[in-house]
Amino acid sequence: MNTIQLARYVIGLTWIYHGLFPKLLQIAPLEQAMTGSLGFYEDITYLLIKSAGVGEVLFGLAFILLYRSKVVQLLNLAGLAGLLVFAAVMTPHILLEAFNPVTTNIPLMVLGYFLLQQTGSGHAKNV
């Protein structure tokens, strides 16, 4: 497997994982705290979390299938940056935890930038 394909699957599967496990299969306490900090009623918070999970799974699948699309790649970078800012603003204390949005989102953004450069420069024509 070459680096472009590795980046494609790491990014796509990470979106799928973060949609499935902490949101759809079981709501993680951290997801509940971050989304709950928006101030909505509990049932609305629940729906927001579940909807975000569905969106993340669908985006992960779309990323795997459409990884050569500049729009999809830019949405990936914007989404990761937006989620990092959301976490920093709404629940800044999590940035001090061992595994946090800084240690997950920034490396994925770097990988996404690498993929954008590789697929946009003509290096990936036969990949």
Please give the pLDDT value at position 120: 83
Please give the pLDDT value at position 83: 96
Please give the pLDDT value at position 28: 96
Q: What is the pLDDT of residues 105-118, one digit of tens each?
A: 999 999 999 999 99
pTM here is 0.93
Q: What is the 3-state secondary structure (H, E, C) of the chain?
A: CCHHHHHHHHHHHHHHHHHHHHHHHCCCHHHHHHHHCCCCCHHHHHHHHHHHHHHHHHHHHHHHHCCCCHHHHHHHHHHHHHHHHHHHHHCHHHHHCCCCHHHHHHHHHHHHHHHHHHHHCCCCCCC
Please give the pLDDT value at position 123: 56
Task: Tell me the C-alpha distance between 68 and 122, whole Å.
Answer: 11
Please give the pLDDT value at position 109: 98
Please give the pLDDT value at position 124: 53
Please give the pLDDT value at position 127: 53
The token pair that represents 34 in the structure block: 């971050």
Question: In whole numbers, what is the pLDDT of the chain averaged over residues?
Answer: 94
Q: What is the pLDDT of residues 44-88, one digit of tens each?
A: 999 999 999 999 999 999 999 999 999 999 999 999 999 999 999
Residue type, 87: A
Q: Is the pLDDT of residue 126 over 50?
A: no
